[in-house]
Chain A
Amino acid sequence: MISTNILNDLGQNNTVETSLEKLKTYEVRNPLVRSSRTPQCAIKPKDVPELQKVIRKAKEGKFGLVPVSSGGPHTKGGISCSADHAVVDLADWNKIPWVNRRNRVCFVEPGVTYGELNNFLKGHGMTLPTPLAPRNTKSVLASTIDREPHIWPRMQWDFQDPVACTEFIYGTGELFRSGAAGGPGSLEEQRKSKGAQKMPMGPGQTDFQRILIGAQGSMGIMTWISLRTELLPSIERPMLAAGDKLSKIIEYMYEVQRPWLGEHTFILNRLAAAMLMTCGNPASFEKVRNSLPEYICLQNMAGFERLPTERLEYQYEELKNMAGGNGLTLVDKVGEIEAPALLKAAQSPCGPRDWRHVVKGHCLSIFFLSLLNNSEKYIAVARESARAFNIPDEQIGIYIQPVIQNHACHIEFMVPFNPDDNHEVENLKNYEADVTERLIKARAFFSRPYGKAAEMVFKNNPGNTELIRVIKGLFDPENILSPGKFNL
C-alpha cells in the first residue's frame, strides 16, 4: 500500500487520483491478458522535477510506477502490472515545445497524439509517419518508443526511427538525455550552435534510448522525445494493387521498395481492410468485405516541394510497370474501397477505440517481425493453428507492413472476438497460446512482445534475457519501474 503521507506529499504539487472509478480506466481492458492489479493511485506530475520526486518517493515507499502516456482504453497489456503500483500519467504533458523545418525535427511531450501532432506539423509543411490508423488518444511517444510500425516504410532507416533524442529519468530518479541532446550544453545552447537534437545515438559510446525503446516502461520514464519529421507531400496519388495471390503482391512490394519508389504502403487482407474502412460505420462491414479480393495493397505516390508533378509522373510509370510485371494492376478503387479513402483512413486517428475492435467488440492481435517473403509461411502457421480451434481462415485479419525500408516486416494476425462471450474468449486464449508457440518455433521474432508472447519469448535467448536483467539492475536497481515486466 502506498502510504497516505506519500500521497499527501505528492499531492501538494501534483494531481493524485485515488478514486477507484478513475483508477479502473488504467486497467487493461483485455480479457485475454492475465488480469493485473488496479493501480493504487494515478499521479499526474506537474513537471520533470516533480516526476523525479515521484520516483524518489516510490523508492522510499517501495511501490512500483507504471508510466502511461496514451489515453484509454488500454488493451495491449503494456501497462499491466501485478505488483503494488501507481500510474504515472503523463497524458496531460502534451506540448510540442519546438519544431524546426530546416532540420525536419520536432519535440513532443508524452501526451501529444498523432492527430494533434500532424495537424501542427502541417502548418510547417511537414508530417510524421503514423502507425496504421492510431487511436485518437494514442500517444506519439508511447507508439514510437514501442517500435510500433508506421505505414511509410522507406522513411524508416532504423528501428529507432522516428525517435531522435530523448529525455528520460532512470529508476534512480536521475535525469538523462540521449543522442545529440545529451550535450554538451543545454538544448538552447546546442541550437545556437545550429544543433537540432537530431542524432539519436550517444552520448558517446552509449545508446540508452535503445534500451528504453521496447522496454514498455520498465527502464525509464521519458519526458520528451525529438522526432525526425518528413516533408508533407504536395501532391499525392494513392492507388491500390489487389488480388487473391499474396505472392504476387509481395514480389511487387520487393521490387518497389528496393529502390525506395512510392510512399506509404502496406498490405491488408479483406477482413482487415474492411475492419479498418468501416470502423466508423460498422454497418457496412460485410458489404465492404464482400466486395474485396483476398489481399489489397495500398501504394501511395507523391511529389514534394521539388518538381512534384514530374516526380509523380516518373514514379507512376515505374510502379505501373512493376505492378504489371507481377501480374497486378494499379487501380484507384477495389470493390468498395477507394485508394484515397484508404490512405486517409490509414493516416488518421481511427476514433476512440482501436479499429480492430469495432466489429466484434475486441480483437486478438498477434504481431511479430520477420522477412516479407516469410509472410505466407506464417499465414499458413496461423491458419493451421486456427483450424484446431475452429477459427475459419476468413476470421483472421492480416496486416503486413514492411519496416526499415523493407529489410524486415511486421506481420499481424487479428481475430476479432466478443469480449463478453466467455467461450470465445477461452477459445482465443488457447489459440493465442498455441499459435504463438508455433510461430516462435517457425522463427517468428516477437520484437515487442505482449500477451502470451511476452510470457514465451524471453526463454528463447537466455543470455539476452540475463543481459536485460543486468541492465534493469543498472537503470532501475530498486525495481520501481513497471515491476514484473517481462518477469525481470
Chain B
Amino acid sequence: MSYPELKSLESDIATCFRCSLCKMVPLPVFKKQEFSNICPINSHYMFHSYSASGLGYMALALSEGRIQADKALADIVFSCRTCGYCDMACNFIMESKRNEINMTLRETLVCEGLAPEEYKRTMQNLKDTGNPAGLTHAKAGDWAAGLNLKKLPEQKADILLYAGCLTRYDKNALLSARKMAKLLLHAGVDVGILGDEENCCGLPAHWMGFKDNFTALAERNASSFKGAHVKTIVTVCGACLGTLKAKYPKYGINTGIEVLHGTELLERLIEKKKIKLTRPLNLKVTYHDPCYLGRQSEPQEEWKGEERTVFGQMKYTVPPRKINYGTGGVFDPPRAILKSITGLSFREMYRIREYSHCCGGGGGRAEMYEKMSLEAAKDRIKEAREVGADYLVTSCSHCKAQFEKASLDMGNDPISVLDIIDIVFQAADID
C-alpha cells in the first residue's frame, strides 16, 4: 500500500533526531520539573510512540511499508489530542512539520477506515444535526432567545457573533455566550447571529482526521459567512477561532472576513471605554491559553518561492519561508482584560502562551481516552493551584467543560473554572 501524502513528508520526518523537546516546554522558559511536560499523551502513556517524534517514525514506517495500517497503530494515533504543541516546540529549533505529519497520518488512517467507531458516529451526528454530539433538544439559535440580536443574513450587521456548537448547547456555556452578546449590545456594537443557520465550525472533523468532511463543512460555513456580509466574525469559543482563522485557510478555504475572538473585541471595547470594568473583583486568578485560541490560531501563510542550495548542502528559500512558532495566537487580550480589573490578582502559570499545556479535551471524543485526557486537565489545575490561583479562567468552551469535569473528579481540591466573559460581565456590572 502506498501513501503519497505520507511519502511527501518522509524527508521532514527524517529531520527528527529524537531530542524529545516535543514533549516538554522550550528550554529557555523551563521553570519546574513538575510542570515541564506538555504533550498530554506522552505524559500519560509515556512511551515514545505517544509523541510527535514517535508518531513521525511510525508514519515513516507506514509509508515505507514496514508496518501496516492497523488497529494497533490507530489506537496510538487517535489518542493524540492535536494540541499542536509539538509543532511549535520543534519549530523552536528547526523548521519542521510535526503537526502536518500527525494530521496526515491521522487522515491516512481515516481513509483506511481505521477511525474509531465513536469518531464515525460523531461525523454522522455532524451531518445529521450540525453538531458533533447529535443534540436535537434545541435549535442552534435558541441560546440567544430574548436577546433581540439581529438575525443574519436577513438583517445586516457589522459583526457576526459565532457561538459555536458546544457553547450553544451547553447550559453553562450558553450563559457565557449570552453575556457576551449583552456586553456587545451594551457597548453599542452592531452585532448579529446566524441563529438556527449556525453550523459547527468543523473542528471535530478536522481533529479527528476526517479531512473531506471538514472541508465540506468549512466550505458551507464560509459560504454562509460570506452571505452574511459582515466585516468581522467574533467567536465566543476559542476552539472556533483557531478553526476559522487558521485551519480554514490551511485547507484552502478563505472567507476574506476578519475573524476575532471575543476577548480581542472586548479588549478593544474596554480600551475605548465602551465597556467599563468598574466593579472590583477580589479574585486570585490564572489564565489557561486554549490551544486553538493560542498557538493553533496562528495562520499559516502559504509560501510561494524557490528553494535553492548553496555551500554544497545548505538549502535556503527565497523569500524565506515563515515558520510558525505559535506566537501569533490570541494571548495578550485575555491577559490585558484580566489585569485591568480592579482588585483582581492575576498570576501566570508555568506553561503559557505558545507553550500552553493542553486541557486534554480536544482531539475528538476525549471521553474515549478519559483517563489520559482528564489527567491533562488535572495536571493543569494543579499548576493553577501551585501558582496560588483560586480561579482558573479560560476562553474556550471545550477547555472550560474539560476543567470542570476534571475539577469535580479531583474531589477535595476542586478549582473554580470561569469563562473570561463571565468575569468581564461581572466587572462591567451591567446586569
**A touches B in complex, CB < 8 A:** no
